[in-house]
Amino acid sequence: MTDVQPDPRDRRPLIGEPLAIDLLNTRWAGTPVNDALTDVEQYGIWLSSNGLSGRCTADEAGLTAIRRTREAIELAARDAREQGELGPDARVGLDGLLAHGRIRRTAGPGGAEDRVEADRPEWLAPWLVADGFLTLLGQGPQRVKQCAHEACILHFFDASQNGRRRWCRMAVCGNRAKAARHYVKARG
């Protein structure tokens, strides 16, 4: 999302990935694992960071729906990484989310206009996430990645030309891995 500024209250370490990946990154490493979707207020912050606060309401129903969506996207991302395609359970999960909405095409003043409609307000953000995830898969399921650092659980969409990006953030996870390799060599 190019014109959206993250909400300053958003405490997540990686913000700005495509919507579906950004939802996965509402969990990050820690003991216990950090979770930015623990309550309605945090859900509102996530909506704000993704430019959705004007379209979606942060309430209990929406929080429940987005958590369900995160689980479905997590399964689908794992299938994409490990198998290069979606397994039956991942497809059923995504189709279940997509069943809550549709794109309605209308004639506007400048031509065709597409508008997303959800069957209930709490399903708009989940529908947008699922639709965006399918768009990412269309660019290559192998580009939906989890950080290669063993202590990191963040995800990213590898938009590099050669598709060989390994780290969620080179300045953090990549440098940690390099430093660890250097330390092992120096001791050996």
The domain spanning residue 106 has which CATH number? 1.10.3300.10
Decide if pLDDT at 181 tops 70. no
Q: Which helix or strand (DSSP H or E) is residue 144 part of?
A: strand 144-146
Confidence at residue 182, expressed as pLDDT on a 0 to 100 scale: 42
Distance CA 21, CA 84 (A): 17
How many structural domains compose the chain? 1
Structural domain contains residue 13: no
> pLDDT band for position 170 (50/70/90)?
confident
Distance CA 176, CA 169 (A): 10
> pLDDT band for position 188 (50/70/90)?
low
**CA angle, corner 93, sides to 122 and 2, nearest 5?**
60
Tens of pLDDT along 10-20? 999 999 999 99
Structural domain contains residue 55: yes
SS (H, E, C) 59-118: CHHHHHHHHHHHHHHHHHHHHHHHHCCCCHHHHHHHHHHHCCEEEEEEEECCEEEEEEEE
Structural domain contains residue 34: yes
> pLDDT band for position 178 (50/70/90)?
low
**Cα–Cα distance list, 185 to 126, 150, 176, 178 (Å):** 47, 19, 14, 11
Structural domain contains residue 176: no
Structural domain contains residue 4: no
Tens of pLDDT along 108-137? 999 999 999 999 999 999 999 999 999 999
Structural domain contains residue 107: yes
Confidence at residue 174, expressed as pLDDT on a 0 to 100 scale: 64
Structural domain harbouring 54 = 19-141
> pLDDT band for position 2 (50/70/90)?
low
Structural domain contains residue 164: no
Average pLDDT, the chain: 92
Token duo for residue 29? 């490493």
Structural domain contains residue 119: yes
pTM of the model: 0.90
**Would you call 156 helix, strand, or coil by DSSP?**
strand
